[in-house]
Amino acid sequence: MSPQFEELKEKIENKKVRLCIIGLGQVGLPTALSFANSGFSVTGVDINEELVSKINNGIPPFEEENLQEFIKNNQTNKRFHASVKIEESIQDSDVIIVCVATPITEDVRPDMKNLKAVCDSLGDYNLNEKLILIESSLPPGTFEGLILPSIQKADQICWSCYVPERLVPGHAFSEIKDAPRLIGELDSESGVLAQELYKTIVNAEIVLTTFKVAEISKLVENTYRDVNIALANEIGIICEKYGIDFDELSRVCNSHPRVNLHQAGPGVGGPCLPKDPHLLLNPFNSEKIDSDIILNARKINDTMPNHVIDLIKRSFQEKNKELKDSAIAILGTAYKANVSDTRFSPAKEIIGKLLDLGCKIKVNDPNTESAFGGAYSKNVLDTIENSDLMIMLTDHDEYSELDLKALKEIMNEEPILVDTKRIFDKHEADDAGFLYVSVGYHNLKEN
């Protein structure tokens, strides 16, 4: 082991290293604050000036448990600040953690421009005796093909690992602390340094592997979930054909010790699941890989909004009501419960299609004002009042407290409830006087 390695290791153990986190989004900001909470001095860097100024003014840029409190505490104790100055922050730090977004393009290819920009910056500066960690999700081969050529310089020693993030937005801080953490090491010195660092914020197991396995495993974990949700969605549609309830089926099937049927729903959104299967099949600078099951799962999940529209049309037929000019209340545009993130949310397509069909759309979401062209109201009862149909697209906690009998009173005659997230009990909805419809359960006539 080199003396430089021993020195950096000791500085990490004593929390004397200065950290620079590049990219202050849903992953980077909670990561930066987790290290600051644990006693490190952290600079967060982002190209988005508005975001940086919000954070430095103590305003949380998105919905996340404890975010405001942690920003304020760490600003007060001067352990954390945000900056747009990437060069200065890289030079002043001992450890650099990259958390920029790695999205996909319209034609579902990896969009590497954020990561390339960061690699250009890293390539321009002296990285001698620094530890460079990458948390962004990567198309396989990126660590070796893009990151390493940017950071490895003939006259300098630096260490590096790929440390994919597994957090769930909304519970980022507890997930960073309690979820087993994967470290994909470049070499054993890098692996030891990364372990020492993450041990300070992770209470769970740290799983060590090669960077190649870590790159792929991150994507396979999300692909596994996407494929399983697609299976649940397909089985939900089969349940509708057989006239049984998917929830009851799932309760029964999941009593089998080796079965874990996922939940059927309106489709899949968020920053990871719709994207990571495509990253998996698009290795860095190589030919696209084909996979029937993965691509079909993506297709099934992407077509679920159409299925929801079909259920809405059939519900209106059942009630002999016209869809055109009807009043529809959309509850939830965030892609999942209790978050504000609307990336790839199925709500976007569902609202767009209903607007095309001539419906009048009112939208409520307690965590975001994104309404995708509908009329937003912060007040859930105002949104539902005088509507013909209400559709639950996100299972935010607030919604489970709604009183169906009281809602029936403020809605139009013969109200319809399309509960894609199974928030309400179907019998209670029946008793309250709703036509109750869900993905995987309804009593509607065939078209």
Ligand X SMILES: NC(=O)c1ccc[n+]([C@@H]2O[C@H](COP(=O)([O-])OP(=O)(O)OC[C@H]3O[C@@H](n4cnc5c(N)ncnc54)[C@H](O)[C@@H]3O)[C@@H](O)[C@H]2O)c1
Give the catalytic positions in this structure.
218, 272
Decide: is 435 part of the binding site for ligand X (CB under 6 A): no
Decide: is 46 part of the binding site for ligand X (CB under 6 A): yes
Considering the complex, state which of residue 86 and residue 197 has its C-beta at the smaller distance from ligand X. 86
Please, are residues 311 and 418 in contact by the beta-carbon 8 Å criterion? yes
Please, are residues 396 and 367 in contact by the beta-carbon 8 Å criterion? yes
**Contact with ligand X (CB under 6 A) among 12, 21, 32, 51:** 51
The CA distance from 373 to 375, in Å, is 7
Decide: is 23 part of the binding site for ligand X (CB under 6 A): yes
- Residue 355 neighbours by CB under 8 Å, 6+ apart: 361, 373, 374
As a whole number of Å, the CA-based R_g of the chain is 24
Binding to ligand X in span 118-177, by CB under 6 A: 118, 135-137, 165, 167, 169
Query: Cα angle at 330 between 328 and 334, to 5 degrees?
Result: 165
User: In this structure, what token pair is assigned to residue 10?
Assistant: 């000791």
Decide: is 24 part of the binding site for ligand X (CB under 6 A): yes
Neighbour count for residue 398 (Cβ, 10 Å): 16
Question: Locate tokens 């990871």: which residue?
Answer: 272
Minimum gap (Å) between residue 191 Cβ and ligand X: 21
- Provide the edge-to-edge strand list for the sheet that holds 158-162: 80-83, 41-45, 18-22, 95-98, 130-134, 158-162, 181-185, 206-210
Question: Locate tokens 């029964």: which residue?
Answer: 252
Minimum gap (Å) between residue 70 Cβ and ligand X: 16
Minimum gap (Å) between residue 23 Cβ and ligand X: 3
Minimum gap (Å) between residue 197 Cβ and ligand X: 18
**Contact with ligand X (CB under 6 A) among 4, 18, 38, 47:** 47
Minimum gap (Å) between residue 67 Cβ and ligand X: 13
Q: Which stretch binds ligand X (CB under 6 A): 19-27, 181-189, 301-309, 437-445?
A: 19-27
**Contact with ligand X (CB under 6 A) among 38, 48, 152, 210:** 48
Decide: is 114 part of the binding site for ligand X (CB under 6 A): yes
Minimum gap (Å) between residue 102 Cβ and ligand X: 4
Considering the complex, state which of residue 114 and residue 317 has its C-beta at the smaller distance from ligand X. 114
Q: Which stretch binds ligand X (CB under 6 A): 25-33, 243-251, 363-371, 394-402?
A: 25-33
Please, are residues 281 and 296 in contact by the beta-carbon 8 Å criterion? no
Considering the complex, state which of residue 167 and residue 197 has its C-beta at the smaller distance from ligand X. 167
Neighbour count for residue 121 (Cβ, 10 Å): 18
**Contact with ligand X (CB under 6 A) among 272, 273, 323, 347:** 272
The conformation of residue 145, written as its DSSP 8-state character, comes to: I
Question: In 3D, which of 117, 89, 80 has the Cα closest to residue 101?
Answer: 117
Binding mask 58-97 for ligand X (x = CB under 6 A): ----------------------------x-----------
Please, are residues 266 and 420 in contact by the beta-carbon 8 Å criterion? yes
Considering the complex, state which of residue 96 and residue 330 has its C-beta at the smaller distance from ligand X. 96
Considering the complex, state which of residue 25 and residue 415 has its C-beta at the smaller distance from ligand X. 25
User: In this structure, what token pair is assigned to residue 91?
Assistant: 């030079």
Decide: is 100 part of the binding site for ligand X (CB under 6 A): yes
Minimum gap (Å) between residue 423 Cβ and ligand X: 23
Minimum gap (Å) between residue 275 Cβ and ligand X: 7
Inter-helix orientation angle 292-318/211-242, to 10° = 30
Amino acid identity for residue 6 in this structure: E
Decide: is 22 part of the binding site for ligand X (CB under 6 A): yes
Binding to ligand X in span 273-332, by CB under 6 A: none
The CA distance from 227 to 356, in Å, is 30
Cα dist from 359 to 329, 354, 387, 390, whole Å:
10, 6, 11, 12
**Contact with ligand X (CB under 6 A) among 271, 283, 346, 415:** 271
Please, are residues 442 and 310 in contact by the beta-carbon 8 Å criterion? no
Binding mask 350-379 for ligand X (x = CB under 6 A): ------------------------------
Q: Which stretch binds ligand X (CB under 6 A): 99-107, 236-244, 281-289, 327-335?
A: 99-107
Query: 158-173 burial, b if ≥16 CB within 10 A, otherwise e?
Result: bbbbbbbbbbebbbbb
The CA distance from 304 to 295, in Å, is 15
Residues that bind ligand X (CB under 6 A): 22-28, 45-48, 51, 86, 99-102, 114, 117-118, 135-137, 165, 167, 169, 271-272
